[in-house]
Amino acid sequence: MSSGKQQPELVVPRSVAVIMDGNGRWAKKAGLERIRGHERGIDAVRTTVTECARLGVEALVLYAFSEENWQRPQREIDLLFRLLKRFLVEERHTLMKNRVRLLHSGRRERLSKDILQVLDESIAATAGNDGMQLSLAISYGGRQEIVDAVRVLAARVQRGELTPAAIDEATIHAHLYHPQLPDPDLLIRTAGERRISNFLLWQVSYAEIYVSDVCWPDFRAEHLLAAFVDYGQRVRKFGKVL
Ligand code: FPP
């Protein structure tokens, strides 16, 4: 007999952004070094990328290393970049198999030559893929992205190509790192934290925020699906009256 209660509907957002948090806490709880948490976080990255691609998400942005993360101990930074490099090399076949196109969001200046090389190789190898766009935010800050856009615009004004009055939201948007990516419909943050932490400040203006209590290394397909079910319950008004 049916209870008459409708199952909540799973709605796949067009664009998803994730703040992968809680690697350190996960490791501490398991009595391990912090870096082991980052290592296990790779499994959650692989699952999230594959599931999002399978479900038809068009764009996924993962916050892998923030501008602020440069202040972490050098040993942790080195290990994080070693993991990133390993991911970029070892998961290239996963990206290809899932027709994922890789992008990088962030500043290149502080990234080492060998990271830039594997990053650029993976970006080039996947450039022809027609599936989900996956941007890894590495050495990324939302304020810095806006500063970078403003610098380019100021130079254009200086050269007489643009008047200040002609600058509107669309002009600024066009100068962000990847203007072709749709703004996130859903921002997921793990480990129970309720902060934006300088992530995609311009783009998350109308994103629905979902906080999962699960630490990132434990984040699995079921948690992603729970986020999509919750997203399906949201009423998005974009400031209007419905
Ligand atoms: C936050 O946990 C996580 C990070 C700063 C790094 C995220 C990196 C990965 C998941 C691994 C590599 C990524 C890719 C895309 C291959 P935290 O260290 O701040 O955790 P805590 O707040 O519990 O200390």
The CATH number assigned to the domain holding 116 equals 3.40.1180.10
Q: Where in the sequence is the domain holding 30, given as residue range(s)?
A: 15-141+183-232
Nearest ligand 1 atom to the CA of 138 is 15
The pocket around ligand 1, CB under 6 angstroms, is made up of 20-25, 38, 41-42, 45, 62, 64, 69, 83-84, 87, 136, 191, 216
Q: What is the mean pLDDT of residues 149-164?
A: 98
Task: Report the pLDDT value the prediction gives residue 233, as an integer from 0 to 100.
Answer: 94
Q: What is the mean pLDDT of residues 33-51?
A: 97
71 pLDDT above the threshold of 60 = yes
Q: What is the mean pLDDT of residues 74-91?
A: 96
pLDDT-above-70 percentage for the chain: 98
Measured distance CA(138)–CA(71) in Å, rounded:
14
Across the chain, what does the average pLDDT equal? Answer: 96
Domain count, the chain: 1
Tell whether 127 is covered by a domain: yes
Greater model confidence, 139 or 239:
139
34 pLDDT above the threshold of 90 = yes
- Closest-CA residue to 136 (of 104, 164, 92): 104
Tell whether 237 is covered by a domain: no
